[in-house]
Structure 1
């Protein structure tokens, strides 16, 4: 049985809705939390690099900084 990509995306989009049409807030908050967690982990290396001082590479190659 092959499920179309559009059907999968619709199912993920409607995950926070109950069958009667009301919104399940706890599921909606969980989806938002997971999305923010992924964004945080994607940005973390950049923040660490910006917060760190000069490292050994900067001392060896002063023209690189």
Structure 2
């Protein structure tokens, strides 16, 4: 699987969870500590197959309670 495909799958997973929880981008942005515009831009990057900041992905993962990234330390 290419990086582009992984980014797009992350987008789909995040978007589906936002839909399931009946949240808005505004609500997600507020809870992860960013602006709606920044969150929207990050989602567009993922949708286009570009990775976003790891810190942002971890915040999204924690807030939405989904598994995007796992570490074995």
**TM-score, normalised relative to structure 2:** 0.26
Which of structures 1 and 2 has the bigger CA Rg?
1
The answer to which structure has the higher helix fraction is 1
